[in-house]
Amino acid sequence: MKRTLILTAAVLAIFTLSFAVRRLVGQPGAPATRPAGPAVPRRIVSLAPSVTEIVYALEMEPSLVGVTRYCDYPPAARGKPKVGGYFDPSFEAVAALDPDLIILLSVHDQPRRWFEGQGRRTLTVNHQSIEGILDSIRLIAEAGGVPERGAAVLADLRARMTAIARTVDGLPRPRVLLAAGRTAGRGELGEVYIAGRSGFYTELIRLAGGVNAYTGSLPFPEVSSEGILSLDPDVVIDVVGDMEAEGADAARIAADWQTIPQLRALRNGRLHVITDEYVVIPGPRFILTLERLARVLHPEAEWE
């Protein structure tokens, strides 16, 4: 459970931080920063599971010498030296690996400043949105000297996104509530964090052919059962992320929602529990989440 909560908290933190920064400066999230220097790195450290997935997708893993303890996809990443956690990377462990490129997210501002102060080359990428993820694939590929691989990965992702867009175009858009964080399988809902004003999940809902049932200003509001009833969505997506870690099966997780049986989505049989771990990692496997959501939101469509 701890691992799932950390990854979910990481997603919440990324988008909450992005929202706060935009309110302060009145500008969109900061763009990704390019690495200094043209040298192709031979010793890369990744400080996020989503970054590690991109490195492997680009076949740059021979140069990957360090990852966080939460980087376990693909399975080969589990064998890489560990440099601490997502929020608490070990500066000493990173330095001991003598990296020539450290790839971070925008939430890692303090580590970035420390590493750069030590003369380390860094690359900060933005995983706060789908376009940010796509752009980070290009940036990491360029930094790794494999731009052609980046172009191929991007072409595949964009083609799959286009296929979804064409399929859902013109179809009615259901109102969707996406539960992004809660304690599952306890026989009650308790307090639920839902996808809010903007960010990764709200963007996925839109691209999948739905609209967010929540129209307020918060990035990840915490709502009660009464709040969920007031939203009364057409579809509920319950993102658990790691069913085994939560100690519950899908049936028990779904049963939590029976405390509010009058909810429109439940009356119409449109509660969907997603337990795959990739749904809480805003990396290149976002396309799997998007394809899954599109089919859930539009079972009436003709899917290949």
Is the domain of 157 the same as that of 190?
Answer: no
Measured CA to CA, the distance from residue 186 to residue 133 in angstroms comes to: 34
Q: Are residues 249 and 175 in the same domain?
A: yes
Q: Nearest to residue 181, comparing CAs of 48, 46, 7? A: 7
Residue that finishes a domain, picked among 119, 137, 165: 165
Q: 204 and 103 in one domain?
A: no
Q: pTM here?
A: 0.86
Domain end residue (candidates: 147, 165, 183): 165
Residue 14 placed within a domain? no
Adjacent-strand bridge partners of 46? 103
Q: Which CATH number covers residue 149?
A: 3.40.50.1980
Tell me the HSE value of 35 on the side-chain side, using a 13 A CA sphere: 27
Q: What is the mean pLDDT of residues 216-223?
A: 94
- pLDDT, average across residues 125-143: 97
The stretches of the chain forming alpha helices (DSSP H) are 2-25, 49-57, 91-96, 109-117, 130-143, 147-168, 200-207, 225-231, 243-246, 250-255, 264-267, 286-297
* pLDDT bracket for residue 2 (50, 70, 90): very low
Least confident of 31-35, 208-212, 220-224: 31-35
State which residues form the domain around 231.
171-297
The whole-number pLDDT of residue 26 equals 32
**Residue 23 domain-assigned?**
no
Domain end, chosen from 123, 140, 165, is at 165
Same domain, 233 and 122: no
Q: How many domains does the chain have?
A: 2
